[in-house]
Amino acid sequence: MGQRLGGQEPRPRTEKTVIRPVLLDASFLIALERETARREEGPARRFLPSLRGRQLVVSIVSVEEILEGAADEDAALASLQRFAIHGLHLAQARRCALVQRRASRRMGEGENDAWLVATAQSLDADVLGADRIAFERLGGRYLRFR
């Protein structure tokens, strides 16, 4: 048993539950925005309750993808402001280079997916999206919403 200090019983050790952040892929963000605009309860909106209590993060790469296809850039940017937006840094660049070197042996992975994998790894985050092939390397860290 533990030592008593000043006549007090030792405190029981409690294990802290680690709740990983979730990096949202553009596929999820687009689906969520479409479902919200149509007032539909689709796969993205049904998945949201399972994320309660987790930090939701959007890579600047996903921001670019969303803005590139947006009919209304200001509205798209405003809808992204509810999430933590994560920039790119040297750590992600180095990881992305490694991911790209490994991916060059496989087909079907784009550079943006490599940036997301690198960012998720550096943040110790799960990735939420709908592109199993791009994120299968993450194993259980890939959350597929449809």
pLDDT, tens digit, 9 for 90 and up, residues 86-132:
999 898 889 888 888 876 655 556 788 889 988 998 999 999 999 87
Distance CA 114, CA 127 (A): 12
- Using CA atoms, how far residue 136 sits from 1, 54, 92, 111, 141, in Å, is 45, 22, 19, 15, 9
- 63-92: average pLDDT: 93
